[in-house]
Chains A and B, each alone.
Chain A
Amino acid sequence: MSATLIPETGAGTAASAMRRNFWRGVWRVMRRKPSRMAGVVILIGFVLMAVVGPMVLPEHLPSNPDALTRPPSWDHWFGTDPQGRDVLALVIKGSRYVLLTAAVTALITVVVGTAIGLYSGFKRGRWDTVLMRLTDMKLTIPGLPLLLVLATVWQFGSPWQMGLVLGLLGWGGVARAVRSQTLSLRERGFIEAARGLGLSTTHIIGRELLPSMAPYIAMNMLISVTGAVYSQVGLFFLGVLPYESDNWGVMLNLAVFQAGAMITPYALGYLLAPLLAILLLTLGIVLVVDAMDEIFNPRLREE
């Protein structure tokens, strides 16, 4: 082992060296299994699709009246929809709404869930009781019916709106899980030692507890992404929301109820394309989740 850190170099450089080591470690972990690299490639692909796709494609996709509801061909890999638009382009356009919503949901779920779980588990006592009763109540609210009711009031035209609602509905599980992790971690010697040394609560939570829970939180975040994708696609598929949005769910709905994908093979591409996109995205996430434990555990990262 070579000592990369010399005490005299000061705190600033030491911290940046640590960060460099961390990313080098992440790279090492990812390279360990080809499946992980595949997952990363898939996820990067989707992100590029969501960010760049709608910029490249025209606002209104050209419709070809001569090719309505066509099966896959060389010109249209996944065929065309009943308006003669390219299905692949529709999937790409729809990805922005889907992924943005998923990202907002995941962020809110994790931030709110972790904050409440940490506070509850660390402070214990009265606050714990209050917060956990609140969480219980939240967990008992049935998500889908509530969303259906909300859909009658809001149109969810913006992915931000959708993400916000899904996020606020979804943090309960994370809060419970983080709380139980906190409860077990706070009994560990190093947390006790930090308190004995007089270190601040901010330090204990931010520097000692959070990093130990990082793999856990990261996993929850990725998994809530898939949850958010299913929920919103489901809502759009059910047709309770307007069809104006570019969303995979809208495509599925139209494929089944308008293009008749269940009866005619011509619309099969229209039905399969968004489904495949969802499957692929889920696969990418599952493949990457596998690496989280090793990324955030220095021992597993180094070896």
Chain B
Amino acid sequence: MITGTGVVKTFKQRGKLLGAREVRALRGVDFTIPKGGAASFIGESGCGKTTLGRIIAGLETYDEGEIAIDGVSMSSLKPKQRQPHFRKIQMIHQDPYSALNPTRTVHQTLHAPLSLRARQTGRSRAWIDERAAEVLTLVGLDPGSVLSRYPHQLSGGMRQRVVIARALTVDPEMLVADEAVSMIDVSLRLGILALLKDLRERLGVSVLFITHDVATARYIGDDGELYVIYRGQVVERGPVDTIITDPVHPYTQSLLSAIPVLHGLERPGEEPVVPLESLDESQADHGCLFARRCPFRGERCAQERPLLQLTEGVPQEHACFYPQRRSVIARPMSEV
């Protein structure tokens, strides 16, 4: 299980002569991802979801707060000691083209982490080859035909499978998939998503899915939790289907309203919410972070910042003073 409490991250932008500008990427985020479970972070670009994913995978440091992996607090450990813990969390990058070294064959790519493991556990060379074939089979590739290939000889979908296979060589507890299918051909995407889903079920690997595409998040973990992140703050959190069908935060609602409607197959939602202004990071930091763009803002919103909490009559946590269920997503024609 991986938990985070009050994770804060601030980037200092240098370059200007006077006054380094600070960008608050994360403003105190809590999360829990159970063993074998699923969670999805959604939000628009620049909301901090990728930074949070990288922090969870140990690729980025955080300024405040606490991350615990299987109950071990990371803040109390020295960087070197953290490494074996963070190794249980493997990142699947968005771009399968840059995630594989173009000068190394699939065999070499898998061999490196496996031989390290073999050395640590005193296993034989034969085990390395056996295990390499095994992880490739797990991700749906034929070891015989793939092992000797260089990345450029593989399609985008196959590369992403190799990336997943490489992550599996260290028997991870969790995969962090950051927009893992956005650069893959549409007809192949579902295959990768199904693979991640399958790994969850077969190996008990939990999956953290980071995306702006809510439907793919639902496909991987409809039994998990959805975190809607806006400007470094979780504004709504709860079971995936609850949030998709009954969102209460206006930001979630506008995010869901923006999903294209497959006219002819679906009918648009009844009360779509369209944000009026585009995101501007220099917007005021006091009050509700979404207030400027929110069509439903009240007086309180400019003064106080709402915190993520449960209120009566709403099944999911939210950070809004005026939670109101709205049906915004498109429904299939057949459902009516």
Contacts and interface: CB of A to CB of B under 8 A. Distances in A.
Contacts of A4: 148
A189 B98 contact: yes
A192 B102 contact: no
A11 B163 CA distance: 21
B132 A196 contact: no
Interface in B122-179: 125-126, 128-130, 132-133, 143-145, 147-150, 152-153, 163, 166-167, 169-170
A8 B129 contact: yes
Interface size class of B (residues with CB under 8 A): 35 or more
Interface stretch (A60-68, A245-253, A293-301): A293-301
A125 to B, nearest CB: 13
Interface string A70-97: 0000000000000000000000000000
B175 to A, nearest CB: 11
Given A7-B143, A190-B98, A208 B148 contact: no
Contact of B104 (A189, A192, A211): A211
Interface stretch (A109-117, A126-134, A197-205): A197-205
Contacts of B104: 207-208, 211
Given A212-B101, A298-B150, A197 B144 contact: no
B149 A1 contact: yes
Contact of A7 (B84, B86, B90, B107): B107
Interface residues of A, number: 34
Contacts of A8: 129
A10 B105 contact: no
B262 interface: no
A198 B143 contact: no
A5 interface: yes
B325 interface: no
Contact of A193 (B93, B128, B148, B152): B93
Contact of B102 (A1, A203, A212): A212
Interface stretch (B16-24, B68-76, B111-119, B301-309): B111-119
B112 A203 contact: yes
Nearest to A190: B101
A23 B181 CA distance: 36
B90 to A, nearest CB: 6
B102 A297 contact: yes
A132 B153 CA distance: 39
A141 interface: no
A189 B102 contact: no
Contacts of B83: 198
Interface of A: 1, 3-8, 10-11, 14, 18, 188-190, 192-200, 203, 207-208, 211-212, 214, 296-299, 302
Interface of B: 57-59, 83-84, 86-87, 90-91, 93, 95, 98-105, 107-108, 111-113, 116, 125-126, 128-130, 132-133, 143-145, 147-150, 152-153, 163, 166-167, 169-170
Ranked nearest first, the 3 interchain pairs of A and B with the lowest CB-CB distance are A189-B99, A5-B148, A299-B152
28 contacts: A3-B144, A3-B148, A5-B105, A5-B107, A5-B147, A6-B144, A7-B130, A7-B144, A7-B147, A10-B129, A11-B111, A18-B105, A18-B108, A188-B98, A190-B100, A192-B59, A192-B91, A193-B93, A193-B163, A193-B167, A197-B87, A197-B169, A198-B170, A203-B112, A207-B104, A208-B104, A212-B102, A297-B102
